[in-house]
Amino acid sequence: METGAEVRRISILTYPGCFLGEAIRLLEIFISLGESMAEQNGPKTRNLIQIYSLSGGRVFSPASRLIFMDTLMIQGPKPVNSDLLIIAHGTRAVTDHAGELSGWLRAVCPGAKQIVALGSGVIRLAAAGLLNHRRVTTHSALAPLLAENYPLVNVDALSPLQIDGNIYTTNEHMNLRELAMLLIKKPLSLGSRSPHQGTAPRAGEGATAFHHAFARTDSIAHRVILWWLAHIDEDISMERSAEFLSMSERSFRRHFKTEVGYSPYLFLLLLRLELARQALIDSNLPIDKIARRGGLHDGQQLARMFRKFIETSPHQYRIEKCNDGLPIPHPVYAALFDGRTTPPWLRELQFAAKRGLPEGRGSGL
């Protein structure tokens, strides 16, 4: 290495089924442009490149078995203060049963100056809870999936590139040379990062924003949630909900999502889950009965929802209760609930629902 040469730390996150070629091309263009500019403007830069995957070892590209990378295991030492983190695009979103990829990203992103999620790589950041209230793009075929599963992420699939703070996301029309040029020309120092950068939302931190919509007694959300709480043990459809409000179903769905940021179907599902979580702590009822009283049919459905959104089983949750060792909930659930305590806005709505019911009728749970 030449005396005085600066070190640029670059990390790449790969996974089974990712397209290595696109990440390699971006890296080659980025390094080539950097070297060309260094020749004209100052000291040369030495690039320190580290490539990571779930299990380490060799990772192949589905596009060609001739393209492969030897990688480091993400459970090993993590990169500190990367200048550039690239998350590869893939044919599909990789299953992350133990939350290993999400945990790695939450640990690494706070120290990264620039983060590039190529195509479906944006789903990995969304799953880690790092894109709430950010504007992103992704491949057009993946945009509906991203919007449905992560309603707090603002998806604009028509734009080839979205830059929000230090996070760059791309769709299939992005020119990699243009992206590399932007990365070279707009490097961020660690001291000047976007205030949003690298911070996974604390569970339930979105509650204050939601509280405003729920507190307005004339809002669609307030009125329908009160009705849901009163009939939580029943089979509640979106059609029935719209009829209660004297609205068309389409208009109801649109207004509710505008007020809350969630589709009414997903919100009702999360509400049922939260009420069941409360009942697990506040009562000794069997899990099957708690599920039925919350409109979740049976204990198996409740267990599936617990594993998906709270990342544990109802039985294990009841044992652990509010132990700090409980896993971090899924970001979609965590924006509303912390998995440990009932948020004030829900306590207020529960109280209002019970107060407004005929004598002797409960709210299911």
Where in the chain are the domains?
6-192, 207-355
Q: To the nearest whole percent, how much of the chain has pLDDT over 90?
A: 34
- Chain mean position to CA 215: 26
pLDDT digits (tens, 9 = 90+) for 316-339: 888 876 555 566 677 778 778 878
* The CATH homologous superfamily of the domain defined by 207-355: Homeodomain-like (1.10.10.60)
The residue among 201 and 114 whose pLDDT is bigger is: 114
| Res. 196: pLDDT tops 70 | no
Q: How many CB atoms lie within 10 A of CB 158?
A: 10
CA 148 to CA 52: how far, in whole Å? 28
Matching CATH number, 6-192, of 3.40.50.880, 3.90.550.10, 2.102.10.10, 3.90.1310.10: 3.40.50.880
pLDDT digits (tens, 9 = 90+) for 139-150: 988 998 888 888
Look at the alpha carbons of 305, 341, 232, 208 in this order and tell me if their dihedral is positive or negative. Answer: negative
Q: Which of 19-28, 87-96, 207-216, 316-325 has the lowest mean pLDDT?
A: 207-216
Is the pTM higher than 0.75?
Answer: no
Kindly give, in sequence order, each residue whose CB lies less than 8 Å from that of residue 243, ignoring residues fewer than 6 positions away.
none
CA 18 to CA 59: how far, in whole Å? 9
Element (H, E) at 116: strand 114-117
Residue 302 corresponds to which tokens in the numbers above?
Answer: 């409740």
Per-residue model confidence (pLDDT) at position 41: 58
Residue range 168-182: mean pLDDT, rounded: 90
Residue range 79-86: mean pLDDT, rounded: 88
Kindly give, in sequence order, each residue whose CB lies less than 8 Å from that of residue 331, ignoring residues fewer than 6 positions away.
126, 127, 128, 129, 132, 150, 152, 200, 201
